[in-house]
Structure 1
Amino acid sequence: MERTSKLNNPSLENSTRGWINGLIGVVIFSGSLPATRLAVLEFDPVFLTVARATIAGLLALCLLWLFKEKRPARQQLVPLIVVALGVVVGFPLLTALALQYVTSAHSIVFIGLLPLATAVFGVLRGGERPKPAFWLFSILGSLLVVGFAVSQGLTASPQGDLLMLLAVVVCGLGYAEGAKLSRTLGGWQVICWALLVSLPVMAALTWYRLPASFSTISAPAWLSLAYVSLFSMLIGFVFWYRGLAQGGIAAVGQLQLLQPFFGLALAATLLHEQVSLGMLGVTVAVILCVAGARRFSR
């Protein structure tokens, strides 16, 4: 009976696939900030940003050539540029710069704002219309994050917190624009074409910012660069954009509420960073607000 019900309701089955793909993407993204934090200890943040985009862009070029994908239509080029500016350049660069001032555990709390940013741009760019209660929970969650930043001494590192807020905004735009484009272009194709669009500039900047020597770079830093290039920049987006396109930007975007949990666990276990009770409390409170927002996302 249950199987028959699913067959008779393809939208439900599609939504379920969207949640599964979205969850896989979130798990992959959860390692991004801890890996970036490790990498910027030894790599210049600008070099890290352009190098990861170049590596991922070369892999994307191989995938597009291997599967003989058709070129995007002319009207899809501007959205692809927006995606590239948001998730290929903007978010990686801003977070890499921010992590020079704050720990990855501190920055992960700001990721609690990503569902709100994604949902806002889902409304503006994707035509979705959440219920009024959605915005109440979303604004409350935002206030909790800002309050946390102030209580932790905003004046001590205004650069780090401001950079993280800007990173969340541009990432939300890149997520929503990419999800909208995925409906016509395909999930993995969107991130591959966005990487390819930015590849000439990223490759040139990688060569320009190339360090004089790599002799002092440790194995953990190289592994971190490999992770953010392969998983954070490419594989994670394959699942994430597919999930957003299948299940809805505002709805599946709320899966990011799990990312702080995963990220804090990685920061504590891999980087041995201190995760305070206050940090955990604010993260849980933000997650509850985003969960309430999800209930009224449609």
Structure 2
Amino acid sequence: MTVSQTASATCASPTGSAGPSGYASPTDVATHGAYTIRRDPADPRPLYRFTGRITADGSSGYRAEPGRYHIYSGWFCPWAQRITLQIALNELEDVIGVSYVDNSRDARGWAFRETNGPDPVNGFTLLRDAYETTEPGFDGHVSVPTLWDRETGRVVSNDYVTLGIDLATQFGEWSNGADTYPERLRAEIAGLESWIGPAVNRGVHRAANDEAARATLLDAFTRLDGRLADAHYLAGGQLSEADIRLWVSLVRYRGRAHGLDRLPPLSDYPNLWAYARRLYRLPAFQATTDFTTFTDPAVALPDWNTSPAA
């Protein structure tokens, strides 16, 4: 089975020709074809194949250490922004490196080009090179975010869910103590994910062409608007992983022209819109957001800098 993927939908990624100064040559769908994920229905392996975990004590085989790990990210990708937000909110920028792939791809997958700079760790021109180094002949999905271990020279994880949790919980020695995944809120965060994940995070890109997905999405917005009527955050009165997961989808809502511009604006949900703008005013959210990488110039965007009511 072949499933075509778009950058905004899956943020996913064979080795291609290099351009000047070690960069990949420009995106060229006419020559190389469009990116696809080829999956054998009988293959039981997960889409996100690398699932290593970082632990503070090293019991997983990957100890939390400053300077050891690097994140390959993409500005355009909501799943990747979850990770860069955790790094910024916990002030781990000097502990974990981050670099960005180019914002477009062809069949060769995500690449390093002049727009966002080279791969500062390995000098790879394509992100697939990291996967091939880890698993020669790799035939799966190459995605951002990807966690690279400088010590072992391999990909540890491209599982954005567990990766975000590990960054939030296992680097306490170097963190500012933000505690975005506290033990007392984990059950509530999981409960929120059980309906926000399918309806919003994975439903928003289906809503343009699927009436059922549209109805589910807008019902979720109504439910969230009610929940936020008397609360600044989704869980426990504090900023948490639940807010990070939701916000990266809210900021991309209606940002592309593929029918999403015909959906109602967030301002139709005043509490949800105020919540989204309130979070955007936090430095970590602004620093990890580049609207130009996931919005269509033809789509009129709201003013995220307007101050919400207290």
* TM-score (norm. length: structure 2): 0.26
Larger helix percent: 1
* TM-score (norm. length: structure 1): 0.27
Larger strand percent: 2
Q: Whose relative contact order is higher, 1 or 2, with alpha carbons under 8 Å and at least 6 apart?
A: 1
